[in-house]
Chain A
């Protein structure tokens, strides 16, 4: 527990102290990271706590953004003296109301049908918004300016960052505290055995509606922060792409661990910030990472971290380190081959290269990649990825075997440890 508090405090100190030293691009990226993290944690309240997979959370994110913008417009017109740091309350209210309404219908179904209802609700918003000028500003959307309040003038992205930080930390703390309440525990029970919860006299449906509305409310806060940061919103906030991103973030981070979604959202937002400058194929890499995580680490990055934490005392690094080294080598070789191939294809199939070929009368001119020149049909060009892939594939079975052996050892020791710690108590009970 102490270790956890220290970790969280250290992260908070970094989040507060570091951004002033960064440039504006980074500050914006950090703000987006906070927004994505809050959205993912709010989303994960449903799947992680109640076992409900929503594919339409963009609806509540978008509603939060539009509600906030409407309030911002009123403030800008001088119609209301509202403390602007409290703007996300509008997003929370919007998310909660729409979430309670949508949740009432969605939670009448479970499993894939639940996912489909939420998907349909988000699609309803997405197809209605561009035609509904009064509420969503039509296709152009709504825009407004951040109005100063007190000492806050929102002149720099840094102020917006700190506003987002404050709201994100508060909201994530509230969401965490919520899971510790008896009601939060009831939700967990609902996920594990709904029938039993009903027998105990609880109303399963209204419990689900409440948790849905709470999740939507905090998604609305995240949307509100985006509206404040961008000062504009349009119907694309409701698109499946937004719903898809939060699903990706949450599951790569790990939905079974409370802070898992934060890891996923941070990693992917920063990944987007770095990689989207370097390559056009960053969405492809993102998809590949997602599928690999689904296949090989079903509990996500957070799940992996959590497994190490739980078995910490039983980990023998002399066994694990070689296995991890082997896996890392194999992974590096395979990802190197993949990246090399993808980037080569991206060049060879690009309109720019087609134009270069036309200029060269149909010949295949050399192209530049990673700072080197390559021939389209050069042996080296194709030998590099083939050799990398071969090396990776050769190492892969060995790495997997070593990993399995090392972890079998860890689990065995944990088992033995548990048996050892339980037996004295049992012995004591027998004596009495």
Chain B
């Protein structure tokens, strides 16, 4: 029971963090068809900017300024780099962002070194929210979750209830039609790219204070956010929320389970035989928890390429 509740809590919080980073990518991918390899880099840059500002001014100022600066960075990337290679096709855009991810990582290493920096939440946020089975559950984890939920609600309302959201959705579905109706589609693209980057930056600023902030954090998350976007479905915010939570929960449960294929076989009395074979049969679920998101992605891509909530391929 303790395992169940703690794993669920951790899984949901991790899932919400994934959502924070991937929501922007979902929007960008859905609209522009650009698989932005540098998206997780925006998350990392957000954490590092917030770390710098926290050291100079204050934690909350960092939380506010980091997304704005990262958003601006995103706007610059879209306006001066991505737009230039647009005519060469999607593969070219993808390669460009891939090179950018490389550069961001190396720049961070240049200025902050190759090791984790000491970015931490302020002491007055360091208290237990509640106690489960005798262990204190840190408030800051709940805080990360709350920020993500607030972000989802804000994005959802923005997209579904406002005029700006209407234009964005129109530009996503039928860019040429939106253009013909007098909307500045390139400007919309730039805005969405900037907003997506800003959200990733906010994610980095919030999560970096709890999880380690190091030059590898973009690489670690980079592929997982693709998994979220693909599993959730092209451009679907709800889909990416569901996919984030799924991956969060799967990962957090898998870490604590030492199930293996041999165990499965022993249910039908073949356990000894499978154990003797070794190899893939004795790999435990806990040791391959990192593999689960990719298996999930492969299955979804092959069975339902449009993703869980996506409408088109």
Contact flag A345-B103 (CB < 8 Å), given A105-B302, A124-B291, A127-B290: no
In the assembled complex, which residues on chain B have CB atoms less than 8 Å from the CB atom of A351? 113
Measured between C-beta atoms, what is the minimum distance from B49 to chain A in Å? 16
A145 at the interface (CB under 8 A from B): no
B278 at the interface (CB under 8 A from A): yes
B126 at the interface (CB under 8 A from A): no
In the assembled complex, which residues on chain B have CB atoms less than 8 Å from the CB atom of A291? 81, 96, 99-100, 103
Measured between C-beta atoms, what is the minimum distance from B99 to chain A in Å? 4
Which of A36-44, A115-123, A158-166, A414-422 is the contact stretch? A115-123
Measured between C-beta atoms, what is the minimum distance from B279 to chain A in Å? 5
**In the bound complex, do residue B230 and residue A251 qualify as a contact, i.e. CB atoms below 8 Å apart?**
no
Contact flag A132-B226 (CB < 8 Å), given A117-B298, A120-B294, A123-B294: no
Per-residue contact bits, chain B 268-282, to A (CB 8 Å; 1 contact, 0 not): 000000000011100
In the assembled complex, which residues on chain A have CB atoms less than 8 Å from the CB atom of B290? 127
Number of cross-chain contacts by CB at 8 Å: 115
Name the residue of chain A whose CB is nearest to the CB of B100. A291
Cα(A116)–Cα(B91), bound, Å: 12
Cα(A111)–Cα(B93), bound, Å: 12
Name the residue of chain B whose CB is nearest to the CB of A293. B99
**In the bound complex, do residue B294 and residue A284 qualify as a contact, i.e. CB atoms below 8 Å apart?**
no
B185 at the interface (CB under 8 A from A): no
A372 at the interface (CB under 8 A from B): no
Q: Which of B107, B223, B230 contacts A240 (CB 8 A)?
A: B223
Contact flag A112-B102 (CB < 8 Å), given A134-B278, A349-B113: no
B165 at the interface (CB under 8 A from A): no
Task: Count chain A CB atoms within 10 A of each CB in B35, B98, B99, B290 and give the residue with the most.
Answer: B99
Cα(A221)–Cα(B265), bound, Å: 37
Contact flag A294-B99 (CB < 8 Å), given A128-B291, A132-B280, A284-B110: yes
Per-residue contact bits, chain B 61-80, to A (CB 8 Å; 1 contact, 0 not): 00000000000000000000
Per-residue contact bits, chain A 90-133, to B (CB 8 Å; 1 contact, 0 not): 00000000000000010011011101110111011001100110
In the assembled complex, which residues on chain B have CB atoms less than 8 Å from the CB atom of A294? 85, 92, 95-96, 99
Cα(A324)–Cα(B91), bound, Å: 29
Task: Please classify how large the interface on chain B is, using the bins under 10, 10 to 19, 20 to 34, 35 or more.
Answer: 35 or more
Contact flag A116-B35 (CB < 8 Å), given A53-B94, A291-B96, A294-B92: yes
Name the residue of chain A whose CB is nearest to the CB of B80. A295
Task: Count chain A CB atoms within 10 A of each CB in B33, B109, B279, B298 and give the residue with the most.
Answer: B298
Contact flag A132-B283 (CB < 8 Å), given A281-B110, A295-B84: yes
Majority-rule SS of A interface residues: helix
In the assembled complex, which residues on chain A have CB atoms less than 8 Å from the CB atom of B100? 287, 291
Name the residue of chain B whose CB is nearest to the CB of A288. B103
Cα(A284)–Cα(B109), bound, Å: 9
A283 at the interface (CB under 8 A from B): yes
In the assembled complex, which residues on chain A have CB atoms less than 8 Å from the CB atom of B313? 113
A230 at the interface (CB under 8 A from B): no
A244 at the interface (CB under 8 A from B): yes
Per-residue contact bits, chain A 30-69, to B (CB 8 Å; 1 contact, 0 not): 0000000000000000010000010000000000000000
Contact flag A131-B279 (CB < 8 Å), given A105-B298, A123-B294: no
Cα(A131)–Cα(B287), bound, Å: 7
In the assembled complex, which residues on chain B have CB atoms less than 8 Å from the CB atom of A132? 279-280, 283
**In the bound complex, do residue A116 and residue B110 qualify as a contact, i.e. CB atoms below 8 Å apart?**
no
B255 at the interface (CB under 8 A from A): no
In the assembled complex, which residues on chain A have CB atoms less than 8 Å from the CB atom of B85? 294-295, 298
**In the bound complex, do residue B294 and residue A251 qualify as a contact, i.e. CB atoms below 8 Å apart?**
no
A314 at the interface (CB under 8 A from B): no
**In the bound complex, do residue B106 and residue A247 qualify as a contact, i.e. CB atoms below 8 Å apart?**
no
Measured between C-beta atoms, what is the minimum distance from A48 to chain B in Å? 12
In the assembled complex, which residues on chain B have CB atoms less than 8 Å from the CB atom of A109? 301, 305
Task: Count chain A CB atoms within 10 A of each CB in B94, B107, B219, B223 and give the residue with the most.
Answer: B223
Name the residue of chain B whose CB is nearest to the CB of A112. B35
A135 at the interface (CB under 8 A from B): yes
Per-residue contact bits, chain A 262-294, to B (CB 8 Å; 1 contact, 0 not): 000000000000000000010110111011001
Give the residues from 370 to 398 in chain A that come closer than 8 angstroms, CB to CB, to chain B.
Answer: none
In the assembled complex, which residues on chain B have CB atoms less than 8 Å from the CB atom of A288? 103
Majority-rule SS of B interface residues: helix
In the assembled complex, which residues on chain A have CB atoms less than 8 Å from the CB atom of B287? 131
In the assembled complex, which residues on chain B have CB atoms less than 8 Å from the CB atom of A112? 33, 35, 90, 94
Q: Which of B94, B106, B278, B298 contacts A283 (CB 8 A)?
A: B106
B288 at the interface (CB under 8 A from A): yes
Name the residue of chain A whose CB is nearest to the CB of B289. A127
Cα(A119)–Cα(B226), bound, Å: 10
Give the residues from 101 to 156 in chain B that come closer than 8 angstroms, CB to CB, to chain A.
Answer: 102-103, 106-107, 109-113
Cα(A290)–Cα(B291), bound, Å: 30
B249 at the interface (CB under 8 A from A): no
B47 at the interface (CB under 8 A from A): no
**In the bound complex, do residue A124 and residue B88 qualify as a contact, i.e. CB atoms below 8 Å apart?**
no
Cα(A128)–Cα(B290), bound, Å: 8
B164 at the interface (CB under 8 A from A): no
Give the residues from 243 to 300 in chain B that come closer than 8 angstroms, CB to CB, to chain A.
Answer: 278-280, 283, 287-288, 290-291, 294-295, 297-298
In the assembled complex, which residues on chain A have CB atoms less than 8 Å from the CB atom of B291? 123-124, 127-128
In the assembled complex, which residues on chain B have CB atoms less than 8 Å from the CB atom of A412? none
Measured between C-beta atoms, what is the minimum distance from A163 to chain B in Å? 31
Measured between C-beta atoms, what is the minimum distance from B101 to chain A in Å? 8
In the assembled complex, which residues on chain B have CB atoms less than 8 Å from the CB atom of A131? 283, 287-288
Give the residues from 349 to 384 in chain A that come closer than 8 angstroms, CB to CB, to chain B.
Answer: 349-351
Contact flag A116-B102 (CB < 8 Å), given A128-B291, A247-B95: no
Name the residue of chain A whose CB is nearest to the CB of B295. A124
A131-B287, A283-B106 known; 11 other A-B pairs, CB under 8 Å? Answer: A113-B305, A116-B297, A119-B223, A131-B283, A240-B223, A247-B98, A284-B109, A287-B103, A291-B96, A295-B85, A345-B110
Listed from nearest, the 5 A-B pairs whose CB atoms lie closest are: A284-B106, A287-B102, A127-B290, A291-B99, A287-B103
Q: What are 28 contact pairs spanning A and B, CB under 8 A? A: A105-B298, A105-B302, A113-B230, A115-B35, A116-B226, A116-B297, A117-B301, A117-B302, A120-B297, A120-B298, A123-B291, A127-B290, A128-B288, A132-B279, A134-B278, A281-B106, A283-B102, A284-B106, A284-B107, A284-B109, A284-B110, A287-B99, A287-B103, A291-B81, A349-B112, A349-B113, A350-B113, A351-B113
B: which residues have CB within 8 A of A? Answer: 33, 35, 81, 84-85, 88, 90-92, 94-96, 98-100, 102-103, 106-107, 109-113, 219, 222-223, 226-227, 230, 278-280, 283, 287-288, 290-291, 294-295, 297-298, 301-302, 305, 313
